Chain A
């Protein structure tokens, strides 16, 4: 396990955006994260997969600093500017779409940046709409615009497409990939979906019982096709690590 982790982390030449050393988190005496050491390079797109209860969401919440109540151990370096994309779009229903995107922004260019990002996610013209009038996919696009409007160095996405239908999810993959290419944040994407991870990420981590059980670079050109033999090999090894012997 340790060798795998070192092999993957060593060849990275870019500066590190995220560094974890022996990071542990526990709740009520139960250890959820168990001494995780991990380096994510700036601009890297990392997918984190694992079974339910493996600790992947806990790791993301630790990086988002949303776990004050946890028992903590270890070292954690994350960029000052990070954004979180939740599974639910989490738009405030009482302010309009544009105000949702601008929530928490204070600089003078906030408005123009928010407008541009809404256009980027294909929602130009919907600035004055109430969030509740949008479809699930549209809401999640607003949430993506809001996350990127903060110009994050680190984008933390917690199963952001889990609640969407299959077709919308495919469109969101393409949109996310395109916008990540444009704004270049470091990304940690938590997902259940092996194909989502393999379509988008530069590197896939598999979590198991609070540790990183597998750390694989995905060295395939985009757009990635499941019909590619290397894709299929990777997919099998990830599924095997998840305990599904496909």
Chain B
């Protein structure tokens, strides 16, 4: 038998791969096939969910379903936020919080990075540091508060120190893992082109570990604010956390909502800033979706 076409070979009924003119339904538009994966969201597409929640929340407040004693309406919160902003209260508390958070973040990231490099690039460092950080990782930051108060008092030092210890962990873990996971093929290459140890660290190990470092940094920037909320319940007269706690005492749910919004906005903005920086630094990667 001479096979003339796949269609003939497989039989007309089985062959669906390339319908010839005779099987083509007349008048059917040449539409692209239905994609199996959802089409990508347009810019701002993720805002749909939050907007939906806002609308339901406002309606619930308007109809009296949601008592302002439990949760203020979004519109009330916006008005309160505006009032606090104009009075300068919000800015004052925000700056106090930001100073703690970002000071702790800066020190924590630097320390986490330094420890990861020492542990990732030397045997002694690995033996000394890695176990300790893993133990620290298992202890929640909040559990360290009693000891930290005994050692450092209830002032700013204690708060910044605790932010440092919590921020250090994700930076260390991710950077260290990336250093350990350096592609062995690149190590081999470095040997065949005769790189020195220092050149290897600079040209291969550090750039290879950068994606891991950025993952850690993204976790760290949100974490420094998380730690702050709890810490600002201890002996403070300034800070977003303080503002919210005081509002709880007075039953001002609108102020609490304002505080939450500030935290959310900061978290998102910080994350966005790190991602922007990451994209610039790792511009060699043509990763789809970033």
Cβ-defined contact, A104 with B207, below 8 A: no
| B199 sits at the interface (CB 8 A) | yes
Inter-chain contact B195/A103, CB cutoff 8 Å: yes
- Closest chain-A Cβ to B201's Cβ sits at a distance in Å of 13
Task: Indicate if A36 sits at the interface (CB-CB under 8 A).
Answer: no
Contacts of A131 in B (CB 8 A): 284
Contact yes or no, B284 A104, CB < 8 A: no
From known contacts A84-B192, A103-B195, A104-B194, infer whether A90 and B284 are also in contact, taking CB-CB under 8 Å. Answer: no
Question: Which residue of B186, B191, B193, B199 is within 8 Å of A150 (Cβ)?
Answer: B193
Which of B185, B194, B199 is close to A88, meaning CB atoms less than 8 Å apart? Answer: B185
Chain B, 180-195, CB within 8 A of any chain A CB = 185-186, 188-195
**B-binding segment of A8-16, A91-99, A165-173:** A91-99
Complex interface residues of chain B between 67 and 104 (CB less than 8 A to chain A):
none
Q: Which residues of A contact B192 (CB under 8 A)?
A: 64, 66, 82-84
Contacts of A104 in B (CB 8 A): 190, 193-195, 199
Q: Mark A95-134, 1 if CB is under 8 A from B, else 0.
A: 1000000011000000000000000000000000011110
Q: Out of A64, A92, A130, A133, which one reaches B186, CB within 8 Å? A: A92
* B40 adjacent to chain A (CB < 8 Å): no
Give the CA-CA distance A179 to B232 in the complex, in Å: 69
Specify which of B190, B208, B283, B284 lies most central, judged by the most chain A CB atoms within 10 Å of its CB. Answer: B284
> Is there contact, CB below 8 Å, between B286 and A103?
no
Give the number of residues in B that approach A within 8 Å (Cβ atoms). Answer: 21
Question: Majority SS of interface residues in chain A?
Answer: loop
Q: B31 within 8 Å of A by Cβ? A: no
B185's contact among A82, A90, A95, by CB below 8 Å, is which?
Answer: A90
A103, B284: Cβ atoms closer than 8 Å: no
- A residues near B285, Cβ cutoff 8 Å: 93, 132
CB distance from A33 to the nearest CB of B (A): 19
Mostly, the B contact residues are helix
Contact mask B32-70 → A, CB, 8 Å, 1/0?
000000000000000000000000000000000000000
Closest CB in chain B relative to A200 CB, distance in Å: 21
Among A138-188, those with CB < 8 Å from B are 146, 150
Q: Which residue of A64, A92, A133 is within 8 Å of B286 (Cβ)?
A: A133
CB-CB under 8 A from B203, the residues of chain A are 92, 95, 103
The answer to whether B158 has its CB under 8 Å from any CB of chain A is no
Chain A residues with CB below 8 A from B191, complex form? 65-66
Q: B247 at interface (Cβ–Cβ under 8 A)?
A: no
The chain A residue sitting closest to B199, CB to CB, is A104
Interface size class of A (residues with CB under 8 A): 20 to 34
Cβ–Cβ contact A86 & B194, under 8 A: no
Q: Fill in one digit per residue for A37-68: 1 if any B CB lies within 8 Å of its CB, else 0.
A: 00000000000000000000000000011100
Taking CB atoms, residues of chain B closer than 8 Å to A64 are 192
Shortest C-beta distance, A82 to chain B (Å), equals 8
Q: Is B204 an interface residue (CB 8 A)?
A: yes
Assess the A92–B193 pair: CB atoms within 8 A: no
Give me the interface of B with A, judged by CB distance under 8 Å. 185-186, 188-195, 199, 203-204, 207-208, 210, 282-286
Offer 12 A-B interface pairs, CB within 8 angstroms, sorted by A.
Answer: A65-B191, A66-B188, A66-B191, A86-B185, A90-B189, A92-B204, A92-B207, A94-B207, A94-B282, A95-B207, A131-B284, A150-B193
- List 6 tightest A-B contacts by C-beta distance, closest first: A104-B193, A94-B207, A84-B192, A130-B284, A104-B194, A90-B189
Interface contacts beyond A65-B191, A95-B207, A130-B286: sample of 8 additional A-B pairs, CB < 8 Å, sorted by A: A83-B193, A86-B185, A90-B186, A103-B193, A103-B203, A104-B194, A104-B195, A132-B284
